[in-house]
Structure 1
Amino acid sequence: MSYLEYNVKTVPSGWRKILYLNWGLVVLLSAVAGVGFLMLYSVAGGSFDPWAEPQMKRYLLGLTAMFIVAMVPIWFWRNMAVLAYLLGLGLLLAVEFFGSVGMGAQRWIDIGFMRLQPSEVMKIALVMILAAYYDWLPLKKTSRPLWVLLPVVLILLPTGLVLTQPDLGTAILLIVAGGLMMFIAGVHWAYFGAVVAGGIGFITVVFKSRGTDWQLLKDYQFRRIDTFIDPSVDPLGAGYHITQAKIAMGSGGWTGRGFMQGTQSRLNFLPEKHTDFIFNTLAEEFGFVGGFSLLVLYVLIIVFCIASALQNRDRFSSLLTLGVALTFFLFFAVNMSMVMGLAPVVGVPLPLVSYGGSAMLVLMIAFGLVQSAHIHRPRNRA
């Protein structure tokens, strides 16, 4: 038994949990959020209003929620997985009847002090239910067809509800995150090969449906695909966002134009500069060095989560931690690909940096689950 382990065991239980926290992860999350505060201050022209100050308050609320969730034993969260999933489905259904509309989509529920986006809740609830399912299921049954069908249904139910909002970006994230959870749980690769083949067929059908009575995507979603393929087709219309985003990134060069010196954002050429395209503001002001530094922070968060999962001998905790890490990875990978023109624009925010309430709060609760798994993992006893 190490000296640290010996001294931790002499501390009362409540204080011991605090010492067992993955403090490196807390520091990294705070560093990324700090970058967000800095950029929101910049895009507001050197003012904490209207974005930076509310974002700081939300982060403090999220940090508090993370600590509270972390102190609760992981077995409790395992038992709550089904309820969390049902709650997520209920909220998605509530959006259909009581949701508020913004930017042509019905995705939010007004709960007074903030607008909650239920699809954000479902991203974490889906990880919880799949981790609990594969913790319950014997390993030898993981790849049997009957036992593969149930998680597929669990993934497709919320995906279908999200598509009706419509929110193609989140629907894709749910399918990919769910599929990756099944893969790391041990489902045979042949199933994924079949899905890829089916996906190629589905994409073909989607494009053939364009302009017909049974068109499968909205017109604006097809325009996003057109813009992704060739933004110059409509540089002042559908291609405006990505064209200005590329200009902002290119003008930053290696070291950037300087803090609060980005012309694209300050002169309002860059749309959604405080949400989806905030990475372009960072790249313009701090250049390749600034963008790469943020990417390093994101990768370190993933590494800390993977290390914690590998150290954990509890299957639910390991799967949950890896699931949160995968979801977090998809967030920033899709956003960065989107704003660099490597993927269609699907409206995915940059985690902990883009302005937003429900996304920030739900993500911090998700990392609270990671911390709970880390704190309460089985440890060697002297």
Structure 2
Amino acid sequence: MAYYPERRSLRRRLKPYFTVFDWPLAMILFMLVTTSMITMSSAGAEFPGRVESQMRNFILAFVVMWVASLIPPQTLMRLAVPIYTFGITLLIAVAMFGIIKKGARRWLHLGIDIQPSEIMKIATPLMIAWYFQQRAKVTEWKSFLVAAVLLLIPFVLIAKQPDLGTALLVGASGFYVIFLAGLPWKVLFGLAVAAAASMPVAWSMLHDYQRERVMTLIDPTSDPLGKGFHIIQSVIAIGSGGIMGKGFTQGTQGQLEFVPEQTTDFVFSVYSEEFGLVGNLFLLVIYLLLIGRGAMIAANAPNMFSRLLAGAITMIFFTYAFVNMGMVSGILPVVGVPLPFMSYGGTAFITLGLGAGILMSIQRHRKLVQT
């Protein structure tokens, strides 16, 4: 008698592709996206099509996250070197014949204008995590030196565009991997002392607009209608929200467009004015849950590569949130860092969605290994 294998239903065949999500992480991201859309409905009211465009960004980020969650960490290890090499090649191409916008050479035209530095936010920690995985049994000071070189190459190329904000984010993402790989505290202390001693040299190497941002942070009232306008209006908006906020679409600073870049870098100001301290605490709790879930995934990862990569991505989320909130609150210089999963923007959402998808892939792989 001939044997005919049982045909699986379409639902059973598709099920594995939709069970890749880490549902605690997915629910946290859903809360952030919902909060973002509510805020964008108010902050983007005077920008036709901004809300619809943000929804398209969310959908694109979801697709990227879903695809990334399907890729096993072993495959990511094999892709680490090609992706890093491709990103460095694009950065060199930008330096040679990139497009100049607003005085900076950051974009490359490949049918559409792309910003290769965004690739390095994931490619750099991916490459360094791969390197430490290869040397898991022989980690020594030479390993940390090579990792530092792998980090410095994209950092220098991006800083020279100039794009110090993105360079610092890329540098932070790579540094987190090196630190989590076991960088000795003595070395870390020595680096801190060296960085402090080199501040005068670093100051002389900054561009004029970068020095102005630092001076504006120290005293924004020195140029209240110019360089200090952003910070002053942002702080006014945050403070005027009080405990409970002024209410949805009732903020004066945001609705009257005193807050600059109110849908992108300074969206937190609009949110704070309308939802107050209570809303801020709610948002902080969501970010703490996001960071906590990422830390749990990293702690339970099955190998060094997965642990380092998950830990670095989690710290990237923390850095985005900390720097943005500090920036709009007037305690950090304005460096153009978006609030993760809240600010308007397509490229940043793709990067963040990719990072979230990698976390989900690592968590799913852990479950498969255990079973």
Q: TM-score, normalised by structure 1?
A: 0.89
1:83, CA displacement in angstroms?
1.0
3-state DSSP class of the match of 1:272? Answer: coil
Residue identity in the other structure for 1:134: F
Q: Does 1:43 align with 2:43?
A: yes
Residue-by-residue CA offset, 1:84-131 (whole Å, 9 max, x unaligned): 111221222232244333333222334556x43222210111111111
Q: Does 1:185 align with 2:175?
A: no
3-state DSSP class of the match of 1:80? Answer: helix
Give distance in 2, aligned partners of 1:133 and 1:199: 25
CA contact (8 A) 2:132 2:143 kept: no
Q: Does 1:124 align with 2:109?
A: no
Q: How many residues align?
A: 360
Matched with 1:299 is 288
3-state DSSP class of the match of 1:376? Answer: helix
Residue identity in the other structure for 1:235: P
Matched with 2:61 is 62
3-state DSSP class of the match of 1:379? Answer: helix
Residue-by-residue CA offset, 1:247-294 (whole Å, 9 max, x unaligned): 000111111111111111211111111111110000001111112211
Give distance in 2, aligned partners of 1:367 and 1:31: 14
Give distance in 2, aligned partners of 1:111 and 1:257: 45
Give distance in 2, aligned partners of 1:111 and 1:350: 28
CA contact (8 A) 1:169 1:347 kept: yes
Structure 1 stretch 123-132 or stretch 28-37: which is displaced more? Answer: 28-37
Residue identity in the other structure for 1:44: G
Matched with 1:331 is 320
3-state DSSP class of the match of 2:369? Answer: coil
CA contact (8 A) 2:20 2:69 kept: no
Residue identity in the other structure for 1:88: G
Residue identity in the other structure for 2:131: Y
Task: Extract unaligned runs of 5+ from structure 2.
Answer: 1-10
Give distance in 2, aligned partners of 1:84 and 1:72: 14
1:46, CA displacement in angstroms?
7.0
The share of aligned pairs that are identical, in percent, is 38
Give distance in 2, aligned partners of 1:26 and 1:201: 44
1:326, CA displacement in angstroms?
0.8
1:82, CA displacement in angstroms?
0.8
Matched with 2:338 is 349
Matched with 1:252 is 241
Residue-by-residue CA offset, 1:275-333 (whole Å, 9 max, x unaligned): 11110000001111112211211111111111112222222111111111011111111
Residue-by-residue CA offset, 1:32-69 (whole Å, 9 max, x unaligned): 1222222222122277x332111111211111121112
Give distance in 2, aligned partners of 1:44 and 1:147: 48
Residue-by-residue CA offset, 1:182-215 (whole Å, 9 max, x unaligned): 11111212221121111112212234x3xxxxxx
Matched with 1:147 is 143
1:16, CA displacement in angstroms?
4.4
Give distance in 2, aligned partners of 1:250 and 1:110: 42
Structure 1 stretch 347-356 or stretch 219-228: which is displaced more? Answer: 347-356
Matched with 1:212 is none
> Which of these residues, 192, 195, 198, is aligned with residue 199 of structure 1?
195
Task: Extract unaligned runs of 5+ from structure 1.
Answer: 1-10, 210-215
Residue identity in the other structure for 1:319: L
CA contact (8 A) 1:38 1:52 kept: no
Give the 3 Å change call, closer, same or farther, for CA 373–233 of structure 1 in structure 2.
same
Residue identity in the other structure for 1:63: F
Q: Does 1:220 align with 2:209?
A: yes
Matched with 1:380 is 370
1:13, CA displacement in angstroms?
8.2
Matched with 2:229 is 240
CA contact (8 A) 2:177 2:308 kept: yes
3-state DSSP class of the match of 2:100? Answer: strand
Residue-by-residue CA offset, 1:158-184 (whole Å, 9 max, x unaligned): 010111111111222222332221111
Residue identity in the other structure for 1:38: I
3-state DSSP class of the match of 2:198? Answer: helix
Q: Does 1:159 align with 2:152?
A: no
Give distance in 1, aligned partners of 2:298 and 2:316: 15
Matched with 2:6 is none
CA contact (8 A) 1:116 1:357 kept: no
